[in-house]
A = this chain, B = another copy of it.
Amino acid sequence: MIPRYSRPEMVKIWEPATRFRIWFEIEAHAADAQAELGVIPKEAAAAIWKARDVEFDVARIDEIEAVTKHDVIAFLTHLAEHVGDDARFVHQGMTSSDVLDTCLNVQLVRASDILLADLDALLAALKRRAYEHKDSVTIGRSHGIHAEPTTFGVKLAQAYAEFTRAKHRLEAARAEVATCAISGAVGSFANIDPAVEEHVAKAMGLTPEPVSTQVIPRDRHAMFFATLGVVASSIERLAIEIRHLQRTEVLEAEEYFAPGQKGSSAMPHKRNPVLTENLTGLARLVRMAVVPAMENVALWHERDISHSSVERMIGPDATITLDFALARLTGVIDKLVVYPETMLRNMNKFRGLIHSQRVLLALTQKGVSREDSYRLVQRNAMKVWEEGKDFQEELLADQDVRAALSEDEIGALFDLAHHTKHVDTIFARVFGDA
Interface residues of A (CB under 8 A from B): 2, 4-5, 139-150, 154-155, 157-158, 161-162, 165-166, 169, 172, 176, 185-191, 194, 208, 210-211, 213-214, 217, 219-220, 222-223, 226-227, 229-230, 232-234, 236-237, 239-241, 243-244, 246-250, 265-274, 277-278, 280-285, 287-292, 294-310, 312-314, 317, 346, 349-350, 353-354, 356-357, 359-361, 374, 377-378, 381-382, 385, 418-422, 425-426, 429-430
Contacts and interface: CB of A to CB of B under 8 A. Distances in A.
A185 B140 contact: yes
Contacts of A418: 190
Given A154-B211, A421-B190, A243 B144 contact: yes
Nearest to A373: B266
A281 B306 contact: yes
Given A237-B299, A287-B294, A288-B292, A247 B185 contact: no
A163 B234 CA distance: 28
A237 B211 contact: no
A87 to B, nearest CB: 13
A280 B300 CA distance: 12
From A246, A297, A357, A426, residue with most partner B Cβ within 10 Å: A297
Given A223-B230, A302-B147, A350-B269, A309 B281 contact: yes
Contacts of A220: 165
Given A266-B377, A297-B233, A349-B248, A304 B144 contact: yes
A148 B161 CA distance: 39
Contacts of A223: 165, 169, 227, 230
A141 B296 CA distance: 17
Q: How many copies does the complex hold?
A: 4
A163 to B, nearest CB: 9
B346 A419 contact: no
B273 A229 contact: no
Nearest to A310: B281
Contacts of A219: 162, 165-166, 230, 233-234, 237
A426 B208 CA distance: 11
11 contacts: A140-B187, A141-B300, A142-B272, A143-B304, A165-B223, A188-B420, A219-B233, A269-B381, A280-B306, A287-B294, A288-B292
A144 B301 contact: yes
Contacts of A158: 211, 213, 217
Contacts of A140: 185-188, 213-214, 301-302
B190 A148 contact: yes
- Give the interface centre of A139, A190, A217 by most chain B CB atoms within 10 Å: A190
